[in-house]
Amino acid sequence: MNARMRTALPLVMSAAIACSASMAQAADLEFYFPVGVNAPAVATIEQLTNAWAAQNPQHSVKAVYAGNYEETTTKALTAAQAGDPPQVAVLLAIDIFTLIEEDVILPISDIATSDADKAWIDSFYDGFMVDTMFDGKVYSIPFQRSTPVFYYNKDAFRAAGLDPEVTPATWDEMVEMGKKLTVKDSNGNVTQWGTRIPNLGLAGAWLFGGLVKSKGDGLSTDTGTEARFNTEAAKASLEFLQRLADEEVMAPGGITWGDTPKAFLEGQAASIWTSTGNLAFINENAEFDWGVGFLPGGDGPGAPVGGGNFYIFKDITDEERDAALDFVRFMTTPENQAIWSMATGYIAPSQAAWETPEMQAYSERLPQALVALEQMPHAYREFATFQRARVTQYLVDAIEGVITGGTDAATALAEAQEKADEVLGEYR
């Protein structure tokens, strides 16, 4: 037994060495991705990764579904700090500052240097590129991007005597039309609210960014060191949310993100503000005539952009790096963007993708999908700074404090600003 093992061991070892030598040119990629929508996302990701692996038989790629965005970021960071990072991951665009601070990602503009690579980076819409940049470098590539739009029930508009083809463009119109859309039963209880804007948690803060944008301001800048909470625009936006509840256009108190599409489908809300990522879900389940419009705005249209981008990690071999870049380029070809966009409802992030025959046919079949694209020029980056999770929580606390009636807008925002400045001061 022992003798046999003694002879077998060198054989196995030399086989292993030979094996790894012959694989030197190849790369085994690990790719972490999150799923954040009601869509067959995993199957589509696997279909795309398998197609890449089939084209590149010398390489292999393992697509790892790592939970929601937050969990995926935590897993990727933990793996990177343990010295075994995934080569590629789709993580929130706004995680850029955290990833830079932890020093785990490569600037993609440093490795994608050929003319073809540069043309590829330039092919994405500017609105999706603003939050990929830091210090003049591009750190990520847009992939699953979304923006909220105004979904409305055309039947409810007709019942309220409103033109079903005209959506409210301003906050005043929203209040005015919303009052007509709010329906009460004989006991005086509301059975249908005029509108529904999720205002709790991170989703609430995301939508809030759109309100602020429509008043001509932004909550954060590209330096990652500035939070702009205590502004006239932010105050007006919070007061608008309060006004919707005061005038019985929207349910008072906290409104969750998750129940919003359901409330719309069940007729509890005549209109909702939610992500384009819900287009496919609402299209399949709505039993009434529905439409999509721009988000009503304060001084003009405004919306936040959100979603995830491709990042390439540090501390990987040169072969892995080249393979990772090739993989990201493959995943974001116009054809593959179109496949991904149609399967999920995410906005294809480049003009070329919208010009593919598949996307042309899709937008004819579901014209609502185009509204988000048309709204893109009015969209602004999602709130992002260093220590994002902590600083965003200050904003979330301020919004929740006001909508649940505890504090007034000016005090809440001033307090959030003070705390944010304290944290971000170290980074300036």
Partner 1 sequence: MNMRLSYGMGFILLFVPCSLLVAFTHYPAFKALLNSFWNNGSSIRPSRFVGARNYEALLEDDKLMQVLSNSFIYAIGTVPLAIALAIGMALLVNSRLPATGLMRLSFFLPTMLPMVAVANIWLFFYAPGIGLASQILNAFGLPSINFLGSTDTSLVSMMVVAVWKEAGLFMIFYLAALQSIPTNLKDAARLEGAGSVRIFFDVVMPLLRPTTIFVAVNALINAFRLVDHIVVMTRGGPNNSSSLLLYYIYEVTFGFRDFAYGATLTVLMVVILGFMAAIQFWVLNRKAHYQ
Residues that bind partner 1 in the complex, under the rule CB under 8 A: 70, 74, 77, 98, 101-104, 187-190, 193, 200-201, 251-256, 258-259, 262-263, 266, 268, 387, 389-390, 393, 396-397, 400-401, 403-406
Residues contacting 60, CB < 8 A, separation 6+: 26, 27, 28, 29, 53
Residue (336 or 387) nearer to partner 1, CB:
387
The three-point CA angle 324-131-418 to 5° equals 130
Q: Least Å distance between CB 422 and partner 1?
A: 11
Nearer to partner 1, 258 or 300 (CB): 258
**Min CB(194)–partner 1 separation in Å:** 13
Contacting residues for 280 by C-beta, under 8 A, at least 6 apart? 38, 39, 343, 344, 345
CB of 259 to partner 1, least distance (A): 5
Least spacing, CB of residue 103 vs partner 1, in Å: 4
Query: What tokens were used for 188?
Result: 């005086």
**Residue 275 or 387 with smaller CB distance to partner 1:** 387
Going by the DSSP 8-state scheme, the letter that residue 85 receives in this structure is: -
Report the residue number, 372 or 409, with the smaller CB distance to partner 1.
Answer: 409
Nearer to partner 1, 101 or 289 (CB): 101
Quickly tell me which residue has 């405004």 as its tokens: 302
CA distance 106 to 116: 19
Q: How far is the CB of 252 from partner 1 (least distance, A)?
A: 7
Q: H helices within 194-331, ranges in order?
A: 201-214, 232-246, 260-265, 279-285, 318-331
Calpha distance 44→41 (Å, rounded)? 5
∠ at Cα 276 (416, 46), nearest 5°? 110
Nearest distance, CB of residue 269 and partner 1, angstroms: 8
Q: Pick from 218, 198, 219: which is nearest to 403 by CA?
A: 198
Closer to partner 1 at the Cβ: 43 or 389?
Answer: 389
Closest to 185 in 3D by CA, of 254, 85, 120, 267 = 267
Shortest CB 281 distance to partner 1, Å = 16
How far separated are the first and last CA of the chain, in Å rounded? 67
Q: Which is nearer to partner 1, 13 or 414 (CB)?
A: 414
Coil, strand or helix at 119 = helix
CB of 140 to partner 1, least distance (A): 18
Identify the H or E element spanning 390: helix 388-403
As measured in angstroms, the least distance from the Cβ of 254 to partner 1 is 3
Which residue lies nearer to partner 1 by CB, 44 or 393? Answer: 393
Distance CA 123, CA 356 (A): 14
Q: Which is nearer to partner 1, 173 or 259 (CB)?
A: 259
Specify the residue, 108 or 250, whose C-beta has the smaller distance to partner 1: 250
Give the whole-angstrom CA distance, residue 138 versus residue 132: 6
Between CA 364 and CA 370, with CA 369 as vertex, the angle to 5 degrees is: 80
- Residue 180 parent element (H or E): helix 171-181
Query: Could you give the 3-state DSSP secondary structure of residue 374?
Result: helix
- List Cα–Cα distances, 24 to 58, 59, 326, 369, in angstroms: 10, 10, 17, 45
Is residue 381 within 8 A of residue 131, CB to CB? The reply is yes
Among residues 56 and 242, whose Cβ is nearest to partner 1? 242
Helix (H) or strand (E) holding 368: helix 368-375
